[in-house]
Structure 1
Amino acid sequence: MPMETGAAVDAEPRGHRIVPGPRGLPLLGNLPQFAKDPLAFFERLRGCGDMVRWRFGPHPCVFVADPECIGELLAETERSFDQPALGIAFRTVMGNGVVVARGADWRRKRSLVQPSVRPKQVRSYASTMAAGAVELADTWAGGERVDVKREMSALTQKIAVRTIFGVDTPADSEAMGRAMDVAQTEIGKEFAGIGALLPDWVPTPGRARIKKAAAVIDAEVGRVVARHRDGGDERPDLLSRLLTAVDETGAHLTDREIRDEAVTLYIGGHETTSSTLVWAWYLLSRNPGARAALTEELDRVIGGREPGFDDFARLTYTQAVIKETLRLYPTIWLVTGVAKEGARIGGVPMAKGTRVWSSQWATHRDARWFPEPEAFRPERWDAEAGEEIAQYAWFPFGGGPRACLGTRFAMVEAVLILAVIARRFDLDVDPGAIGPVPTLTLQPDREVMATVRAR
């Protein structure tokens, strides 16, 4: 394989060796290869070594695949690595919420948002999660054909607006859903294409579409926030907690900050869980042994009743199904940071400005950490089975100081929804392979149709 030259680091490490990646083009570097198929590109880099040099356009980059190096990258974010400057499509939708903010601004926002998603609060949302799944299951009948992607999206949207906004639906849930679909697509296109190198002021059709989508999102969130402010009474939803949160100076979040955090929580509580559940039904449909093990646990643990928060810890195989789904189809498929002065990874000093990347997709499918990496094996998560999984060989929610705040929320939601529906039905997803498309999250490349089979 042809290699490129040029240094993105200052010295060779102890115990690690930086190797050059695929040869790039002048100015564009490896961007065309990355844009064509980002997932395959990261797997190709992993095949070169655990620390690989490449270029994202003119930017020098290092790709890391070793769990110890990944752990260092995640742990040193904020101290040794900055968040990268994300594309205008991402920033137009997400604003400057806790996912995007840096430094003192990030620390302040995290301190204000974190109390809303602590375990005690997640417990209070569990009944809403289960109730939403029951409502959906009550509308299905054996033999019915369903669009799994659409059904899971509508369900998690309903749960998100109930737990985040304290209402049943936004003013126009269909418009909100369409806007989020556009946002996902355009963010993915910009990130993986030539648009990633264009200045913000350059107009493109995609940027026009993202502005229209963001306007819809802003309008819907704004209406709900206004209703909360006018209501005056205390509510148990996330938005109410954000509206009353104060920082160490006694200041509240501004209206714009409320909007940014509400959208961030909405995407985290809706898009990511929806995608995970679609992939779970797809994998269960193609692995009858795993599906049988899942239903055996559900019959044994919850029997004929509906599950609640207290069942979460006991549904160990159900949790394993979600964990294994996130291994094979991680909703968030890459992490990256920009080296500050003095940054190091694996003992290697990183030149200031070097972009250090890692991919959940590539590391989760590494046979060194997961035997038979392409196989769907929930039992690999059984602690008693003795299959040790290295820390940061699995990191679907990131890690370190900027780990996803909604990890607990997402796991409880996915497990309870899966338990409610799988206790009643099997979903036989139509034959044929479904590929992943890396947008803002990892989405199926086509509709996911299934036949509902009553148990």
Structure 2
Amino acid sequence: MTTQAGSAAVEETADGHTIVPGPRGVPLLGNLPEFGKDPLAFFERLRERGDVVSWRFGRGPALFIAHPDTIGELLTQVESTFDQPDLGIAFRTLLGNGVVVAKGADWRRKRSLVQPSVRPKQVRSYAATMAECAIALADRWTDGQHIDIKKEMAALTQLIAVRTIFGVDTAADAEAIGRAMDVAQREIGAEFSGIGALLPDWVPTPGRARIKRATAVIDAEVARVVARHRDGETERPDLLSRLLAARDETGAHLSDQEIRDETVTLYIGGHETTSSTLVWAWHLLSRNPRVRDALGEELDRVLGDHEPGFDDYARLTYTQAVVKETLRLYPTIWLLTGVAREGATLGGMPVEPGTRVWSSQWATHRDGRWFGDPEEFRPERWGTVEGEAGDDIPEYAWFPFGGGPRVCLGTRFAMVEAVLILAVLARRFRLDLGPGEIRPVPSLTLQPDREVLATVRTRRT
């Protein structure tokens, strides 16, 4: 297999995928400057070259894969022939060695301890909190009010995260936590796509100093709330209490550091990712009145005069499709990567050990082979409208939560949260965004590049 970016060689995998060379890089840095300038556009350009493209991340060999078949191979083979990569000191500073970062036996142990906290039965118990928080926000909105959707959704999902994870109404300093998370996200994105990705951990940089300060704020709050839980009631319905009570097969609890790492991981999954998804959903609905009207029709028909709850989730099929279509066009997690072990293959061809294999939800989700009119916001493609067939979407053509053994543990939590919040708010209001383009910025999650200002308009009383 040729992995030298810029080589003239073209090879073919056993299942017919062609391995083509990517753009020529520069000495030592490879294609990192082009990748760092605009990662989303870079991956789209690689996708246009082929389904398996060789390039260089710094001096190391790398492959970009765009076809659902090879993406499925990568995702299902992680923990067998592909390793979870080291995502850098900035990423580890924030997430520690939580279940997203851990490898091998350590990952399997942590997954077994965390997973029971987000099973369907537990998500049902959190749904009431999700709806209650959304209803309280809806009660504060008024017709003609001007809002920043980004701030409103961030505050809402942060409150839900604090209540469901910590079991309290507010953190000691919720605004400080939010600011710290914003700093951490920016610095992780900047380091990951810049020269910092190639620097040893011991090299000090201003960005690394900023993320350490931000993480210290987060750590202090987590430690305070953990201490409160341990000194208080033993039976609580929140995620943190379940983590504190969890035992592995040897009877051992999670350590204080492990509790911290998993709590921060759950906080990001329950707050940052859902907040971003909702911002993009409101943006798309404002720009697509037909879809907004169809969403309102379903909410009127299914909910009538009652507020949504967990039992309504399964019946809100178009609302689910709106969320899925939002995640297709603006996937919160926009790339996944793995490192080949000895014996790794893709498409029947061996992959050189140490090769870093990349896939991008952004690029594959916008591929016209799998999604007709890929730039169009069309929830009907998910087969939710009676009499209209959905698109024939291959497995792993849509993978906003990853897949395989390391699929996001909070997938159902995130979907239920986004659907219930959208149902509560869109049942009463529409949000009209102002003019101007909003661009996605790839940091830890895919974020809007600016404030998202809108006018609240009442749909019904």
User: Which residue number corresponds to residue 443 of structure 2?
Assistant: 439
Q: What is the TM-score with the length of structure 2 in the denominator?
A: 0.97
SS in 1 for 2:457: strand
User: Which residue number corresponds to residue 456 of structure 2?
Assistant: 452
Contact 2:5–2:54 (Cα < 8 Å) also in 1: no
Contact 1:8–1:53 (Cα < 8 Å) also in 2: no
User: Which residue number corresponds to residue 429 of structure 1?
Assistant: 433
Q: CA deviation at 1:449?
A: 0.3
User: Which residue number corresponds to residue 78 of structure 1?
Assistant: 79
Deviation per CA, 1:21-68: give whole Å up to 9, x if none.
001111100000000000000000000000000000011001000000
Contact 1:8–1:62 (Cα < 8 Å) also in 2: no
* Structure 1 ranges of 4+ moved more than 6 A: 6-9
1:393 to 397, 405, 411: 397
Structure 1: state its 5+ residue gaps: none
Contact 2:382–2:390 (Cα < 8 Å) also in 1: no
Q: Work out the CA distance in 2 between the residues paired with 1:177 and 1:57.
A: 33
User: Which residue number corresponds to residue 330 of structure 1?
Assistant: 331
Letter in 1 for 2:425: I
Letter in 2 for 1:217: I
User: Which residue number corresponds to residue 277 of structure 2?
Assistant: 276
Q: CA deviation at 1:232?
A: 3.3
Contact 2:149–2:452 (Cα < 8 Å) also in 1: yes
Q: Work out the CA distance in 1 between the residues paired with 2:114 and 2:234.
A: 20
Q: Work out the CA distance in 2 between the residues paired with 1:335 and 1:398.
A: 8
Q: Work out the CA distance in 1 between the residues paired with 2:59 and 2:321.
A: 41
Q: Work out the CA distance in 2 between the residues paired with 1:83 and 1:141.
A: 47
Q: Work out the CA distance in 2 between the residues paired with 1:111 and 1:284.
A: 38
Structure 1 residues 265 and 76, CA gap change in structure 2 (3 angstroms):
same
Letter in 2 for 1:46: R
Q: How does 1:19-418 map to 2 (within 5 A)?
A: 19-382=20-383, 385-418=389-422
Structure 1 residues 386 and 14, CA gap change in structure 2 (3 angstroms):
closer
Q: CA deviation at 1:233?
A: 2.5
Q: Work out the CA distance in 1 between the residues paired with 2:295 and 2:23.
A: 43
Structure 1 stretch displaced more, 383-392 or 263-272: 383-392
Q: CA deviation at 1:388?
A: 1.1
* Alignment coverage as a number of residue pairs: 453
Structure 2: state its 5+ residue gaps: none
- Mapped pair 1:4 → 2:19: no
Letter in 2 for 1:282: H
Structure 1 residues 6 and 116, CA gap change in structure 2 (3 angstroms):
farther
Deviation per CA, 1:50-88: give whole Å up to 9, x if none.
000000001100100000000000000000111111111
SS in 1 for 2:314: helix
Contact 1:8–1:354 (Cα < 8 Å) also in 2: no
SS in 1 for 2:18: coil
Letter in 1 for 2:353: K
Q: Work out the CA distance in 1 between the residues paired with 2:142 and 2:18.
A: 57
SS in 2 for 1:18: strand
Q: CA deviation at 1:7?
A: 8.7
Letter in 2 for 1:432: G
Letter in 2 for 1:349: P
Q: Work out the CA distance in 1 between the residues paired with 2:275 and 2:240.
A: 21
Q: CA deviation at 1:5?
A: 2.0
Q: Work out the CA distance in 2 between the residues paired with 1:29 and 1:386.
A: 41
Letter in 2 for 1:276: T
Q: CA deviation at 1:387?
A: 1.9
Structure 1 residues 274 and 386, CA gap change in structure 2 (3 angstroms):
closer
Contact 1:3–1:21 (Cα < 8 Å) also in 2: yes
Percent identity between the aligned chains? 77
Q: Work out the CA distance in 2 between the residues paired with 1:7 and 1:148.
A: 49
